[in-house]
Structure 1
Amino acid sequence: MNAQQQFVQTYLEAWNDHDPSGVASHLCADGLYCDVPNQTQLGGEELLAHLIDYFSNDHYRYELIGDVLVNQNTMAFQYQVIPLETHSGAQGWSGAEFVQLRGNVAQQINDYYRVPGAQSRRDGLSEEGRRYAKSGLGVEAMEQLLSALQKAMDQDKVYLDPELSLPRLADKLGCSVNHLSQAINAGHAMSFFDYINQFRVTEAAQILRQKDCQFPAILDVALSVGFNSTSTFYTAFKKATGETPAKYRRGAQ
């Protein structure tokens, strides 16, 4: 049994043993467990506290479905969750996890799942999550797509295009819209717009820090980095920095 298979085996065993510490120990010290459908991220201590509460009412068994897909420092696997008491009326669900490894522990675990009735710690499933569980996009292909995506951001700065959309970016990268959405959700645990806006906000912050800024109006800054409106820019900027663009500019100069 290789290290990745061992990781999955002990990880699922910890779930089946209702062992919060055992599950959380699969994350490195600064690792993150990302509940993609609920758009939440938990560090080790947060995950531990969450699981202590969850396991107090957990009556399920967790089983691996199919093979563990491995490529260098990433892996993916599907699982199913089965009620321990079939007469209780509880329903099981299925899901998939995409894991970024650092040595023998996880740097990040992105979890996608389907929960009938949304009666568990996992309250529903995003469309991206359903697509991931059924998609033919493997780990290696996803890594290649994420690499091409990063290049498009860093070198081509496609986020500066105010007309950029998920279909338009997918066409540029030569992939399907579904696969691009899946890769962004799995690799970065965020939506397409949040992913693009983080680059726009970073670019805007660099402009606002300049003492001889060529854009005196906030709207001009917003438009220069790809935003279509001041309100959208303000919302994204404050979400990322905790400050409005105007306050950030005053503090930087």
Structure 2
Amino acid sequence: MLLIPPDTAEQTALTLEVVLRYHMAWKRRDLEAILAIYHPQVQYNDFFQNRSMGLTELRAYITSTLPRHPDEYLEHNDRIRADGCTAFIQYQTALKGSGERVVFRTSEAITVCDGLILRINEYASLVRDSEPQTGRHAPAISKLGLSARQLTFMARDLADYFTRQQPFLDPDLDLARIASATGYSRNQLSYLLNQVLGQSFYRYVTQARLAYLLERLVNHGENAPIEALAVSAGFNSTSAFYKAFRSHTGCTPKAWLKANCVRARR
């Protein structure tokens, strides 16, 4: 059994140096540099998933959680702090695709031994503007095998797919088609929508259809009847469109057009 070094000033400086290198390797998305900083007996505890991993499992885990795009970044809530052999990192990641601000707030307690990372305890909680959460979803998410960071990737993948491919234009769109197109399972997508983003699949699709329709009205000066535009946006009934429009904007299409579109003032 390894002996944790005493909490001296020298150890604090060493811990900070090691964790800063670890932090920079993550920023560079350098998988090999990250793995090289782990102690052979490293233990990584992801408490959001109720999952504990050793060195042999971390390559796949880190690969699946590394940022995939240059504009993906973590918003750090505080500077990296060290005290003896332990360092602390706090950050948050915002999710795309919700009608309100939704973020995962994460903290990591990192233990350094022999100049390498021996243990990481990662804690994440989901926070909404309207309803703070405190990790109560961990038992369910552990069955899906997704970390908090992987859920942020899924939210982005789903939003990007809707933006690029516009599947919502098909009135018969269902969750099975989305799962097939994105590579995620239906259970994973349902969890993301219902438990993380706080909305149903129907509401998510409806919001996309309304955003598409409103953008055409405002930026493209569409002059077709509003009912025809609703059909072209994927709504399969006029009553469903009017109900969704009022719920989203707080007014009828006629009142909204009068307030926002040149065509209604002609």
Q: TM-score, normalising length from structure 2?
A: 0.47
Q: TM-score, normalising length from structure 1?
A: 0.50
Larger radius of gyration, structure 1 or 2?
Answer: 2
